[in-house]
């Protein structure tokens, strides 16, 4: 057996739960930070993505969405 596996088996249940809690906190923090960063740059990405389409639209018109969830793809 290697050292990591023997250390893992020697830990009491509370140590496992404490380690799980810290991993979950780090994971949720990383997801939250990633969401915030992506929310900040979604408008420039959407503008860049739809630029070829909006350039050929007639003057005074805009994009429409045919279902409710389509409007949330690019805010």
Averaged in consecutive runs of 10 residues, what is the pLDDT profile of the chain (75 residues)? Answer: 62 88 97 93 84 85 74 61
Whole-model pTM: value is 0.54
Say how many domains are in the chain.
1
Which residue range is the domain that position 35 belongs to?
3-72
pLDDT for the residue numbered 27: 98
Alpha-carbon distance of 50 to 54, in angstroms, equals 6
The pair of three-digit structure tokens given for residue 13, joined into one six-digit string = 């249940």
Three-class DSSP category at 21:
helix
74 contacts: CB under 8 Å, gap ≥ 6:
42, 43, 45, 46, 49, 50
The pLDDT of residue 72: 64
């Amino acid at each position: 057996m290697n050292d990591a596996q023997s250390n893992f088996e020697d830990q009491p249940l509370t140590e496992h739960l404490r380690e799980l809690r810290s991993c979950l906190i780090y994971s949720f923090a990383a997801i939250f930070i990633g969401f915030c960063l992506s929310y900040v740059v979604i408008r420039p990405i959407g503008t860049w993505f739809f630029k070829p389409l909006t350039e050929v639209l007639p003057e005074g018109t805009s994009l429409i969405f045919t279902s409710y969830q389509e409007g949330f793809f690019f805010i």
